[in-house]
């Protein structure tokens, strides 16, 4: 079954839309946020807890799974869904972003990117075809083409090269695909050059993918430039396909991107911040290690109904964090992911009832970030 | 309400008995195993998961909570139950064992034990009275008297001193108690000297505690001596009070002690082993890091119905363990605690239906430990 996307409502005052994406592993409502399950686990939570929070889609990282435990091993064990005990939809990235950000000694040619593992220094070559084969072995529902992600700042010739390669690699990815199930999303690049963004959109979208991602953001360009790119690129992507903004972001970033027509997001912020002791709350961030919380009997967020807020105080979370207890990461991850799930629900609901702009204003106005 | 103990069945062929202990926070069936919640958390599990596994009693460590976050802080936050989100029964030890095993530069007098914190080297004095006050501040349901725990091997004069002090401290503990709720258990010492064990039992039991513990085991004496002490001391303790064997142990140790009349146990083995990657299973230990499990699609224990075994393979657990993922400790802790919970249920059921010896033989026979 290919990937289906149905739009249920459009916000009259912006590009925001509410819809449903359907894969072999069920449907998920959009706008959607994906928790990041780097090494076949969303750190600190049971898969069942994700379902309880309302998540029906998670992301896992091709780069990490390719290196360990290896995609062929995962395939022999019945695929990534079975391996990690997750029976809802699963999106895998292409590995490109990690190759460009984590690995050492990478070298890009038109053919492929070679790199050394950040773990053991071993040499690897990732081609668009291999990225497809790895993801097909993992059996993810949504697979991403390998693109060339350029760090900010980058000169025009470099970005132009990346756009050209990204298109060529997208074409090769489609040609390499062997699985009928699921589908592959194209990715547009173009750095911070409006005309190159447009060119990338035109070239990649001509290939007719069932969904498209805006890549090459969250690469050091800063909030303002990121928003310019999103504002430019997202509305250019085909209106009848899901649009995915990779690696973004804060609640503020998500609101902005939704207003420009983005449907899907992933980001390590809620999970990573949880492990670092920072909670997202309805009144802004709570940095739990602060001494002011040592005897604070309140839940992390008085407006939150998550399992953590229902049972535990800031004082207890601070104690767990200071003691480096496993439960610290567990409780705070559930809270932050619950916060994000409710955020996305609220956004979707607001679009459906036609008051997205008011909801955004209200939500962002009450933060002190 | 004091602590109530009711015996429902006695095994005709041994000292084993099945009963129920009731505290202000409900009842728990015996023989009972207590998960260890050192720093106000059973590492790697949500309190609700303990309840789901059937646990109605956990242990927490006075020594650790006294040092961090501090018992007065816990009291101000509503007591340990509320602090850690646990509304069933709670037992706290006296701190004595950790002072004797973890801290540096300890000095014991008849008055108290002085020690330096294993965390920051700060100097502390723990008296029997302070041990009572700390536990009352924590608000545990079952509190343990401060005893003098002597390491093995120890000479007769040293053990004789410990027996004398332990009795004197037990008396002072009772005199110091200010809370009417819950209750305090006495502890008997005596090292490996049968006559000193008997003397300690006589002296401490004359003080009429609602329950008694066999202390001074698991101190380096080895399995054989430990069993000799348990076989001697446990049956001497009042038959109408719960008997608690501190810090024990393996399933084999538990079977043995139950057959000698012990009702309660605590041990870090299931939780610590889980974090170290060793699973208790119906066919013996599984050391998950072994390469043989790298592509093993079977659950950790095919006879187990725990949430981990229902959803995950040995291969996945090995992957998580090798990657040092938080979920590794989480999944394996749930499995091991589930294993212990079913073990205790099986033991109790066997006593109730009168085939404890057969059940023990069958259970131990199928292990390769």
- Average of per-residue pLDDT values in chain A: 95
pLDDT band at A209 (very low <50, low <70, confident <90, very high): very high
Q: What is the dihedral of CA A234, A235, A238, A242, to 10 degrees?
A: 50
Burial class (CB in 10 A: 0-12, 13-18, 19+), B180: exposed
Same domain, A281 and A195: no
Same domain, B257 and B273: no
In a domain, A287, yes or no: yes
Q: What is the model's pLDDT at position B106?
A: 84
Question: Would residue B120 show up in a list of annotated catalytic residues for this protein?
Answer: no
Closest CA to B298 of B280, B310, B285, B283: B310
Residues in B closer than 8 angstroms to A327, CB to CB, are 41, 43-46
Contacts of B213 (CB under 8 A, 6+ apart): B144, B185, B186, B187, B188, B243, B244, B245, B246, B264
Question: Would residue B93 show up in a list of annotated catalytic residues for this protein?
Answer: yes
- Contact assessment for residue A301 and residue A283, using Cβ atoms and an 8 Å cutoff: yes
Contacts of A194 (CB under 8 A, 6+ apart): A232
Q: Is the omega angle on the peptide bond into residue B170 within 30 degrees of 0, that is, cis?
A: no
Residues in B closer than 8 angstroms to A70, CB to CB, are none
Q: What is the model's pLDDT at position A100?
A: 85
In a domain, B23, yes or no: yes
Query: If DSSP codes are grouped into helix, strand and coil, which group holds residue A23?
Result: strand
Predicted confidence (pLDDT) at residue A84 exceeds the cutoff of 90: yes
In a domain, A238, yes or no: yes
Say if the Cβ atoms of A44 and B297 lie within 8 Å.
no
Phi, psi of A226 (to 5 degrees): -55, -45
pLDDT tens for each residue of A114-142: 999 989 999 999 999 999 999 999 999 99
- Average of per-residue pLDDT values in chain B: 95
In a domain, A367, yes or no: no
Residue A331 has a CB neighbour count (10 Å cut-off) of 29
Domain that holds residue B121: 13-267
Of B48, B73, B326, nearest to A43 by CB-CB distance is B326
Active-site annotation holder among A11, A93, A141, A147: A93
3-state helix, strand, coil in chain A (%, to 5): 45, 20, 40
pLDDT tens for each residue of B16-39: 999 999 999 999 999 999 999 999
pLDDT tens for each residue of A3-31: 999 999 999 999 999 999 999 999 999 99
In a domain, B234, yes or no: yes
Structure tokens at A343: 């955020």
pLDDT band at B368 (very low <50, low <70, confident <90, very high): very low
Average pLDDT over residues B263-284: 97
Same domain, A33 and A182: yes
Say if the Cβ atoms of B44 and A312 lie within 8 Å.
no
- B118 Cα to chain A: minimum distance (Å): 14
| Cα–Cα distance list, B287 to B271, B290, B314 (Å) | 14, 6, 10
pLDDT band at B205 (very low <50, low <70, confident <90, very high): very high
Cα–Cα distance, B214 to A126 (Å, whole number): 63
pLDDT tens for each residue of A261-315: 999 999 999 999 999 999 999 999 999 999 999 999 999 999 999 999 999 999 9
Residue B212 has a CB neighbour count (10 Å cut-off) of 24
- Contact assessment for residue A230 and residue A262, using Cβ atoms and an 8 Å cutoff: yes
Contacts of B125 (CB under 8 A, 6+ apart): B112, B113, B114
Burial class (CB in 10 A: 0-12, 13-18, 19+), B229: buried
Residues in A closer than 8 angstroms to B295, CB to CB, are 73, 76-77
Closest CA to A72 of B291, B320, B315: B315
Query: If DSSP codes are grouped into helix, strand and coil, which group holds residue A192?
Result: coil
pLDDT tens for each residue of A92-110: 999 988 988 887 778 999 9
Same domain, B79 and B138: yes
In a domain, B347, yes or no: yes
Predicted confidence (pLDDT) at residue B365 exceeds the cutoff of 90: no
Same domain, B200 and B278: no
Cα–Cα distance, A154 to A216 (Å, whole number): 11
- The percentage of residues in chain B with a pLDDT greater than 70, rounded to a whole number, is 99
Element (H, E) at A90: strand A89-92
Query: If DSSP codes are grouped into helix, strand and coil, which group holds residue B213?
Result: strand
Same domain, A256 and A282: no
Question: Could you tell me the CATH number of the domain that includes residue B227?
Answer: 3.20.20.105
Structure tokens at B43: 């590492």
Of A69, A307, A320, nearest to B319 by CB-CB distance is A69
Minimum Cα–Cα distance from A76: chain B residue? B295
Q: What is the dihedral of CA B89, B94, B99, B102, to 10 degrees?
A: -10
Closest CA to B292 of B275, B269, B313, B267: B313
Q: What is the model's pLDDT at position A366?
A: 57
pLDDT band at B366 (very low <50, low <70, confident <90, very high): low
Active-site annotation holder among B141, B147, B263, B266: B266
pLDDT tens for each residue of A312-347: 999 999 999 999 999 999 999 999 999 999 999 999
Contacts of B164 (CB under 8 A, 6+ apart): none
pLDDT tens for each residue of B225-270: 999 999 999 999 999 999 999 999 999 999 999 999 999 999 999 9
Q: Which long-range contacts (CB under 8 A, 24 or more apart) does B302-308 make?
A: B304/B335, B304/B338, B304/B339, B304/B342, B305/B338, B306/B53, B306/B334, B306/B335, B306/B338, B306/B339, B307/A46, B307/A48, B307/B49, B307/B334, B307/B338, B308/B332, B308/B334, B308/B335, B308/B338
Closest CA to B59 of B80, B35, B43, B78: B35
Residues in B closer than 8 angstroms to A73, CB to CB, are 294-295, 315
Does any CB of chain A come closer than 8 Å to the CB of residue B327?
yes
- In DSSP terms, B113 is beta-bridged to B108, B126
In a domain, A366, yes or no: no
- Contact assessment for residue B267 and residue B248, using Cβ atoms and an 8 Å cutoff: yes
Residues in A closer than 8 angstroms to B319, CB to CB, are 39-40, 68-69, 83
Q: What is the model's pLDDT at position A161?
A: 96
pTM of the model: 0.97
Average pLDDT over residues B113-140: 95
Query: How many residues belong to chain A?
Result: 369
Q: What is the model's pLDDT at position B369?
A: 38
Q: How far is CA A281 from the centre of its chain?
A: 20
Closest CA to A327 of B86, B215, B197, B20: B86
Q: What is the model's pLDDT at position A367?
A: 54
- B88 Cα to chain A: minimum distance (Å): 14
Residue where a domain terminates, one of A267, A289, A308: A267
In a domain, A7, yes or no: no
Q: What is the model's pLDDT at position B105?
A: 72
Same domain, A75 and A18: yes
- Contact assessment for residue A273 and residue A280, using Cβ atoms and an 8 Å cutoff: yes
pLDDT band at A232 (very low <50, low <70, confident <90, very high): very high
pLDDT tens for each residue of A139-188: 999 999 999 988 899 999 999 999 999 999 999 999 999 988 889 999 99
Does any CB of chain B come closer than 8 Å to the CB of residue A39?
yes
Same domain, A53 and A174: yes
Half-sphere exposure of A319 (CA within 13 A, CB side): 27
Residues in A closer than 8 angstroms to B83, CB to CB, are 313, 315-316, 319
Cα–Cα distance, A3 to B281 (Å, whole number): 42
Closest CA to A259 of A17, A3, A63, A19: A17
Please tell me whether the interface predicted TM-score (ipTM) of this complex is above 0.95.
yes
Same domain, A83 and A183: yes
Same domain, A260 and A273: no
For testing the chain B interface, which of A70, A72, A327 should be mutated: the one with the most B CBs within 10 Å? A327
Of B43, B78, B325, nearest to A325 by CB-CB distance is B43
For testing the chain A interface, which of B326, B335, B337, B338 should be mutated: the one with the most A CBs within 10 Å? B326
- Contact assessment for residue A347 and residue A359, using Cβ atoms and an 8 Å cutoff: yes
- Contact assessment for residue B302 and residue B295, using Cβ atoms and an 8 Å cutoff: no
Structure tokens at B263: 């009702």
pLDDT band at A365 (very low <50, low <70, confident <90, very high): confident
Average pLDDT over residues B200-224: 94
Same domain, B307 and B171: no
Q: What is the model's pLDDT at position A368?
A: 41
pLDDT tens for each residue of B98-113: 988 887 778 999 999 9
Say if the Cβ atoms of A315 and B69 lie within 8 Å.
yes
Query: If DSSP codes are grouped into helix, strand and coil, which group holds residue A243?
Result: strand
With vertex at residue B177, the alpha carbon angle to CA B176 and CA B181, rounded to the nearest 5 degrees, is 175
pLDDT band at B1 (very low <50, low <70, confident <90, very high): low
Cα–Cα distance, B112 to A96 (Å, whole number): 64
- Contact assessment for residue B318 and residue B260, using Cβ atoms and an 8 Å cutoff: no
Same domain, A164 and A242: yes
- Contact assessment for residue A205 and residue A226, using Cβ atoms and an 8 Å cutoff: no
Half-sphere exposure of B235 (CA within 13 A, CB side): 13
Does any CB of chain B come closer than 8 Å to the CB of residue A155?
no
Does any CB of chain A come closer than 8 Å to the CB of residue B76?
yes
Query: How many residues belong to chain B?
Result: 369
Total structural domains in chain B?
2
Residue where a domain terminates, one of A224, A244, A267: A267
Residue where a domain terminates, one of B267, B286, B312: B267
Closest CA to B18 of B234, B362, B261, B233: B261
H helices of A127-220, in order, are 128-138, 156-176, 194-205
Residues in B closer than 8 angstroms to A316, CB to CB, are 40, 77, 83-85
For testing the chain B interface, which of A38, A41, A300 should be mutated: the one with the most B CBs within 10 Å? A41
Say if the Cβ atoms of B295 and A76 lie within 8 Å.
yes
Q: What is the model's pLDDT at position B103?
A: 76
Torsion sign over Cα A122, A128, A129, A135: positive
């Amino acid at each position: 079954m290919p990937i289906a996307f149905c739009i249920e409502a459009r916000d009259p005052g912006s590009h925001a839309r509410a819809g449903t994406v359907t894969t072999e592993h069920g449907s998920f409502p959009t706008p959607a946020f994906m928790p990041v399950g780097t090494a076949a686990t969303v750190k600190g939570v049971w898969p069942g807890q994700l379902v309880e929070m309302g998540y029906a889609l998670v992301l896992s990282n091709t780069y990490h799974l390719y290196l360990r435990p290896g995609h062929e091993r995962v395939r022999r064990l019945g695929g990534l869904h079975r391996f990690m005990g997750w029976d809802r939809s699963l999106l895998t990235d292409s590995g490109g972003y990690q190759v460009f950000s984590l690995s050492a000694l990478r070298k890009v040619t038109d053919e492929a990117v070679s790199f050394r593992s950040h773990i053991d220094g071993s040499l690897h070559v990732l081609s668009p075809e291999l990225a497809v084969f790895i993801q097909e072995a993992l059996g993810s529902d949504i697979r991403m083409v390998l693109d060339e992600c350029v760090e900010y700042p980058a000169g025009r010739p470099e970005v132009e090269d990346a756009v050209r390669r990204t298109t060529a690699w997208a074409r090769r990815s489609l040609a390499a695909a062997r699985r009928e199930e699921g589908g592959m999303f194209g990715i547009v690049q173009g750095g911070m050059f409006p005309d190159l963004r447009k060119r990338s959109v035109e070239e990649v979208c001509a290939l007719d993918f069932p969904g498209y991602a805006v890549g090459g953001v969250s690469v050091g360009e800063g909030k303002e430039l990121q928003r310019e790119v999103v504002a430019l690129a997202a509305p250019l992507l085909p209106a009848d396909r899901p649009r995915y903004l990779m690696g973004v972001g804060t609640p503020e970033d998500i609101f902005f991107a939704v207003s420009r027509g983005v449907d899907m997001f992933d980001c390590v912020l809620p999970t990573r911040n949880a492990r670092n002791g920072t909670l997202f709350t309805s009144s802004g961030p709570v940095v739990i290690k602060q001494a002011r919380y040592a005897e604070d009997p309140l839940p992390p967020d008085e407006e939150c109904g998550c399992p953590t807020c229902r049972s535990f105080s800031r004082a207890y979370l601070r104690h767990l964090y200071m003691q480096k207890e496993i439960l610290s990461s567990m409780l705070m991850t559930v809270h932050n992911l619950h916060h994000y799930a409710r955020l996305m629900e609220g956004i979707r609901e607001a679009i459906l009832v036609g008051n997205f702009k008011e909801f955004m204003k209200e939500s962002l106005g009450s933060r002190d970030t």
